[in-house]
Structure 1
Amino acid sequence: MVPVTAADLSLLCVAPTHVYRGWSILPKAGEAIAHLGQRALVVASPRRYQSIEAGLGAIAQRLELKVGTFHGECSEATLATLQQEAADHQCDLVIGVGGGKALDTAKLLADRLGVPVVTIPTSAATCAAWTALANIYTETGAFAYDVPLRRCPDLLLLDYALVQSAPKRTLVAGIGDALAKWYEASVSSGSTQATLTVAAVQQARVLRDLLLQQSVSALNEVGSPAWENVVDATTLVAGMIGGIGGAQCRTVAAHAIHNGLTHLPQSKHTLHGEKVAYGILVQLRLEELVQGSQLATSARQQLCQFYEQVGLPLNLQQLGLQEASLAQLQYAATVACAPESDIHYLPFAVTPELVLEAMVSTLVGYTSKVMDGSAR
C-alpha cells in the first residue's frame, strides 16, 4: 500500500461541531459547555466580560472560570501571556467572548493548547466565531499574518440578545465583510469545477443577494426576522462558505487592502468590515483599470449605491483617512502587494502604484444624490 502524505490531502474545516442560536441562550448553555471541559480560561476584554458576567453566572456554577488577560489585539505577546495563564489554571477549555480579535485569540490559544474552544460572538461584525482561521496582528494593530487552525470551534453560541446590544455600526461592518465572500471567491475560484468549490461560490452569490435585499430592513428593524437573517448571514453563512470552499475560496484584493490599511495609524478606529468593504470597491476598480471590465464597473456602481443606504465607506475620506499622506497610502498599497499577499490571486498582475490609483478613485463615474462634493 502506498502511504498517504500531507500533499495528497485536501483539508476542509467546514463548520463548528455544534452551533446553538437563539434569543437569550447564553444562561442556558452551561450543560453544553460543561461537556467540553471543567477548567475554562475566558478570553474577553475586561469591558466585554463585565457586560456578560451575569449571563455567565449559570455557567460559572458548572465550571471553574478564570478570565485571561486580553486587551484587544490578537498578537503573539497576548498569546504568550494567555498560554502561561492557561497553564497556571490547568485549563482544559477556552471560551472566547467578543469580536473578531477576541475570538481569533481564543481559537488560536485552544489550537496551541490542544483543548476545545467555545466561541460566543457579541456582535455580527465578522464570521470569526465560525472559522478555522486566526489573524495575527502587532501590538499596535497592524496585520502580520494569518494562521490556519486544525479545526473549527467545538461550540458556537450565537445569542441574538447579545448581538442586539452591540452598536449598529458593528452589523454594518459585518455586512461589508460578508459581501466580500462573493466578490473574492468568484475571482479566486477561477475555472475550477470542483463540486464543493462551485457550491461555495454559488452560496456566496446567495449571501450577496440576501444582504443587498434585506440589510436596509435589518438595520431599521433591529430584532426583526430580517435582522436575524442578516446576523446569521454575517456570522454563520459567511464562515460556512469559507469552510466548504477551502483554499479555492480565498480572500483576494478586498482583504489585502484591509491588511495594508491596518498599517496606517489613522485606520485604528475603523472596523475590519469597513476596511474590507472599501477594499471590495478597490478590487472592482482594479478590474476596470486593468481589464476594462464593464461588469466590474456596473458592480461598483451598484455597491456604491448600497453602501450609501447602509452607511459603509465609499472612499478614503469616509474611512477617516483624509489626513493620511500620499507616502502613507503608498506604503499601505505596498503592504497589500507583498509577495505573499492574497491580492495576487487576481487574474492579472498588480503593482503598488496601480493599487494606489485604484484606492484614490473608487468613486470615479459615480453620481450620488446624497453625498456632497467634499466626499468625492
Structure 2
Amino acid sequence: MVEALPILAIAPAQLLRGNGILALLPQYLSRYGHKALIIAGKTANQVTAGYLSNTDLEIIHAEAIADCSDKNLAMLRHLVQQENPHVIVGIGGGKVLDTAKLIAHQSNLPIVTVPTTGATCAAWTALSNVYDEDGAFSYDVTLDRCPNMTIVDYDVIATAPKRTLVSGIGDAIAKWYESSVSSGSSEKTMVIAAVQEARILRDILFQKSAEAIANPNSSAWCEVVDASVCLAGAIGGIGGASCRTVAAHAVHNALTHLHQTHGTLHGEKVAYGILVQLRLEEFQGNQLAASSRHQLLKFYQEIGLPRSLADLGLSQVTLAELEQIAEIACQPNSDIHRLPFSVSPSQVLAAMVSTTSPIAATV
C-alpha cells in the first residue's frame, strides 16, 4: 500500500547572494530561454531597470503592480498567454513576489525571484498570499515548488528604507514563537529540525538586529537579511504549514481588513500579532509566555517594531472594529486554530488591547 507523506517544497533550486550580482541577471535568465516576463512594482522597476537594458534577451515588462489580487492575476495570466515567455521574473517586495510565483505556478513556467527589500521571506517560499481589491487578506495558495532561482543582491536591498528590514525582522522572528507553540512537542524529525532552526533564527535576530539596522550593508546587516529572507523561508519549508503561520499571522490577516492598517507593513502587523499570541498563552497560565512577551517588548522598542494598537496607528479604533477583527481571526479556516488550545474572539480582543500589560496581568 502506498502511503505518501506531504510533499515538502523546502528551498529554491539555486540561491545566489552577494553585492552587485544583479548585473548578472541576464546571464542567469538565459538558462531558461530568450524571453522573460518581468513582474515588478514601480520602485523595483526603477531600481533594476539598468540591469536589463543591455541584453540579447527579449524582455516584456508587465504593468507595475502593488497587490497580489485576483484582478492582477487575471491580467497577468492574459499577458502570459499573449507573450508566451520562457521564464517569469519577480522583482520587488512580498506582494509582487507572491504574484510572480503564483503566475509561474499557474503557467507552469520557471520563476526567478529578486527581493528588493528584506521585509519578508516571500522570495524563498512555495506560498502566495492573495488579497482582495481593498487590500484585505483573502486566501493563500500552496505552490508545488520554491523558485527555480532566488537572487539576493545586498546592494539593491540596502537601497530600501530601513523600516522594511525592521519589518522583516518582525516577520522572521515570528517563526520561533509560532512553530514552538504549535509544533514544539512534535516527534517528527523534520519538524524538530525546523523548530530548532527557528530558535537559532530568533537568537541571531536578538543578537544582530540593532547593529544591522544601524549599519546598512555591514556584515551584521547581511546576516540579518539572510535570516529574514532565507532562513525564515527555509524553516517553513522544512517544518511545513504549522511552522509557518499560527496566531501571529492570523492576527495579521485579520488586521488587513481594517483600512487603517494598510499603511503598516506585513512584518509590523505580524510582530504585533506575536504579542497577541503570547497574551493568549498567558491566559492559559503560561508564565514563560509572559517573560517572552516582555523580552520582545524591550526588543521591539530597541529596533522600532509596534508594541500596541496605537503603534499600528489604531489609537482611534472602535470597539466594533476590534470585535470584527477578533471574529475574523477566529474564523474556522484561520491559522489561529493551530494553537494547542481553543481560542474565542473575546479572548483575542482581550489580548489585542493588553499587549503591553505587566506580567501579572491576566483575565
Give the shorter-chain TM-score range: over 0.9
Task: Give the secondary structure class of the aligned counterpart of 2:268.
Answer: helix
Code of the aligned partner of 2:33: G
Shift of 1:37: 2.7
Q: Unaligned stretches of 5+ in structure 2? A: none
Matches within 5 A, 1:186-335: 186-289=180-283, 291-335=284-328
Q: Which residue of 2 aligns with 1:139?
A: 133
Alignment partner of 1:340 out of 307, 330, 333: 333
Task: Give the secondary structure class of the aligned counterpart of 1:54.
Answer: helix
Matches within 5 A, 1:1-376: 2=1, 4=2, 8-58=4-54, 61-289=55-283, 291-365=284-358
User: How many angstroms apart in 2 are the aligned matches of 1:55 and 1:324?
Assistant: 44
**Mean Cα displacement is larger for which, 336-345 or 23-32?**
23-32
User: How many angstroms apart in 1 are the aligned matches of 2:342 and 2:170?
Assistant: 25
Q: Unaligned stretches of 5+ in structure 1? A: 368-376
Shift of 1:248: 4.1
User: How many angstroms apart in 2 are the aligned matches of 1:69 and 1:333?
Assistant: 36
Shift of 1:9: 3.0
User: How many angstroms apart in 1 are the aligned matches of 2:359 and 2:94?
Assistant: 32
Task: Give the secondary structure class of the aligned counterpart of 1:144.
Answer: strand
Percent identity of equivalent pairs: 53
CA offsets, 1:55-104, max 9 Å, x none?
Answer: 2234xx13211111242110111000001111111122110000000000
TM-score by length of 1: 0.93
Any conservation in 1 of the 2:29–2:36 contact (CA below 8 Å)?
no
CA offsets, 1:202-227, max 9 Å, x none?
Answer: 00000000000100000111111100
Shift of 1:351: 1.0
CA offsets, 1:285-323, max 9 Å, x none?
Answer: 00111x111100000000000000000000000001112
User: How many angstroms apart in 2 are the aligned matches of 1:9 and 1:347?
Assistant: 22
**Mean Cα displacement is larger for which, 70-79 or 99-108?**
70-79
Task: Give the secondary structure class of the aligned counterpart of 2:355.
Answer: coil
Any conservation in 1 of the 2:91–2:114 contact (CA below 8 Å)?
yes
Any conservation in 2 of the 1:26–1:56 contact (CA below 8 Å)?
no
User: How many angstroms apart in 2 are the aligned matches of 1:126 and 1:288?
Assistant: 28
**Mean Cα displacement is larger for which, 207-216 or 181-190?**
181-190
User: How many angstroms apart in 1 are the aligned matches of 2:350 and 2:7?
Assistant: 37
**Mean Cα displacement is larger for which, 213-222 or 64-73?**
64-73
Shift of 1:27: 0.8
TM-score by length of 2: 0.97
Any conservation in 2 of the 1:188–1:251 contact (CA below 8 Å)?
no
Q: Which residue of 2 aligns with 1:371?
A: none
Any conservation in 2 of the 1:304–1:366 contact (CA below 8 Å)?
no
Question: What RMSD in Å do the two structures reach over aligned CA positions?
Answer: 1.3
